[in-house]
Amino acid sequence: MDTAETAETAGPAALPRPFDAAFFADPCPVYARLRAAGSVHRIALPDGSPVRLVTHEADVRTALTDPRLSVNKAHSGSGYKGFALPPALDANLLNIDPADHLRLRRLVSKGFTPRRVADLRGRVQAAADRLAGALATRIAAAGSADLVTEFANPLPLTVIGDLLGAPLARMEITIALMTLLRRLPGLALAVPAGELRWRTSFRSRALTGLPVTAPGRRGR
């Protein structure tokens, strides 16, 4: 039995797991190897979920326009749940199929008219300049910096936060807390909210720590 047949018939525990530490350190060689080996691969995600990974652009485009396929996890035949987000956060434009997607997109598009986008230019430019300045300072002091962590990731979050009227730190903490409390519903703050300490960074105002206690336990 060749490698392809083995992967096709193997259980989740035996499936290849390409998204390992080496992948996150440098994903390009991993993707190149997968593309060279074929277009469709049966693999396991880091959480063990079995999926099929499509690596050739033409096949990806075909799959994305095939009405037999769905991006809604509720239609999964294998019970795939994806990220454990609360329902209100999970029902977004990335996870719904054409009819609902078009309905929500029409609602969202009202806030992104050409005039509205032009009005946002100054705020986007200011956010980009602020992050670029902090990045330059970091490089001058340390000799290097992470462009993704310190510029590419925070820029869209900062802009979205401005659009929604939600500071970046508040958005990140809200998403993290909702996900955590969904998994551990008995979790509670181990200190009064007024004792939480904050720090101000080049990106946002954020908590220095978040002490919590598990059900049935006390203390910090």
CA dist 151 and 132 (Å) reads: 7
Total domains in the chain come to 1
Taking 90 as the threshold, does the pLDDT of residue 129 lie above it? Answer: yes
- Cβ atoms of 160 and 127 closer than 8 Å: no
Residue 33 included in any domain: yes
What's residue 3's pLDDT?
41
What's residue 83's pLDDT?
63
pLDDT tens figures, 15-62: 899 988 888 888 899 999 999 999 999 998 887 888 899 999 999 999
- Range among 113-127, 161-175, 184-198, 205-219 with highest mean pLDDT value: 113-127
Quote the domain boundaries for residue 17: 3-69
Name the token pair of 141: 């002091």
Residue 17 included in any domain: yes
Residue 24 included in any domain: yes
Which residue is associated with the tokens 């609360």?
86
Q: What is the mean pLDDT of the chain?
A: 76
Name the token pair of 50: 């079995």
Residue 219 included in any domain: no
pLDDT tens figures, 189-209: 777 766 766 655 434 445 666
Residue 57 included in any domain: yes
Residue 48 included in any domain: yes
Residue 176 included in any domain: no
- Cβ atoms of 39 and 56 closer than 8 Å: yes
Residue 193 included in any domain: no
